[in-house]
Structure 1
Amino acid sequence: MKIEVLAVRAASHSLTLRDRLVGYLPRYAGLASRFAPLAIGATAARCCGSCSSALPSSAHAGRSPGALAMGMGSRALFQRAQEQAYLIHAVNTIAKGALVPVPGGVLIMDGATLLGAVGVSGDTSDNDEACVVAGIQAAGLKANAG
């Protein structure tokens, strides 16, 4: 029964973001294979994209929930932490330490619509971010790393 429901949903709403990212894996697998083993966490947008939500207490890679909650890629959060450490410290306190303000958390955009965020950790922050951006772009979406 479940497969039929999923087929009807895919026919009427197109594929989910997860399905597109997994389906396009062969397009960016060569790039991803050059990196150290990575941990990936994704967070779906829970609002229209113009509001912030509280970070969950247990963040996957820590980067995607922070990027989504703050409405900017984690590279922008990294820059903000250098310029306004007190702000990032305050937000991280509220988030119970779940905010990771280093590159690797990227917002997923479909035109002007915020779909969610993906965070990767395991290599250097710049390589983590490059892997995420490649995956999002391979799925035909726009990446906003900050």
Structure 2
Amino acid sequence: MSKLTLSAAEKIVDTALAKGGELGLKSLTVAVLDAGGHLVALKRQDGSSILRPQVASGKAYGAIAVGAGSRWLDENAKTRPHFVQALNGVAGGAIVPVPGGVLIRAGEGGEILGAVGISGDTSDNDEACAVAGIEAAGFSADRG
């Protein structure tokens, strides 16, 4: 059985930040949460604005909360806005329902080990960096 260790979380974060640099993205903040929604690792690049840690964590938390990457939340915010609004209310406003929150799975369709949330560039670019980090650590990425 795979496990999300601190070492694996650090590899995810460092790879995601390196991918952002490779793509020439704006300053990123990367949060890795375990399956219970607890913060395992967070890095905020120089120049990241002050709410980026909360946004990154909110993307990851939302993914864990619904068991799907935050792209799923984004689609549902468009088609079922009352549901996503109610869900966010129940979560105390902790969910950020836009792409950039990606589940970490133990293999394709496997157990949810946690989630990565990234904030700083476009949601699609944030998501791409999260996927790069998750895959580099040997896990499967679930975008939703």
Q: TM-score range by the shorter chain?
A: 0.7 to 0.9
Distance 1:105 1:32 in 2: 15
1:137 aligns with 2:135: yes
TM-score (norm 2): 0.75
TM-score (norm 1): 0.74
What's the CA shift for 1:31?
Answer: 2.2
1:64 aligns with 2:60: yes
Give the aligned partner of residue 17 of structure 1.
5
1:123 aligns with 2:111: no
Asked if structure 1 preserves the Cα contact closer than 8 Å seen for 2:35 and 2:112, the reply is: yes
Note the aligned Cα RMSD (angstroms): 2.6
Give the aligned partner of residue 105 of structure 2.
109
Moved over 3 A (4+): 13-18, 23-30
What's the CA shift for 1:22?
Answer: 2.8
Distance 2:102 2:29 in 1: 14
Number of aligned residues = 124
Radius of gyration: which is bigger? 1
Asked if structure 2 preserves the Cα contact closer than 8 Å seen for 1:107 and 1:114, the reply is: yes
Deviation digits for residues 15-48 of structure 1, max 9, x if unmatched?
843312434777665422022111111211139x
Give the aligned partner of residue 50 of structure 2.
none
Change (3 A) 1:24 1:78: closer
Mapping for residues 79-98 of structure 1, pairs under 5 Å: 79-98=75-94
Give the aligned partner of residue 39 of structure 1.
29
Q: Runs of 5+ in structure 1 lacking a partner?
A: 1-12, 48-57
Asked if structure 1 preserves the Cα contact closer than 8 Å seen for 2:68 and 2:142, the reply is: yes
Change (3 A) 1:93 1:29: closer
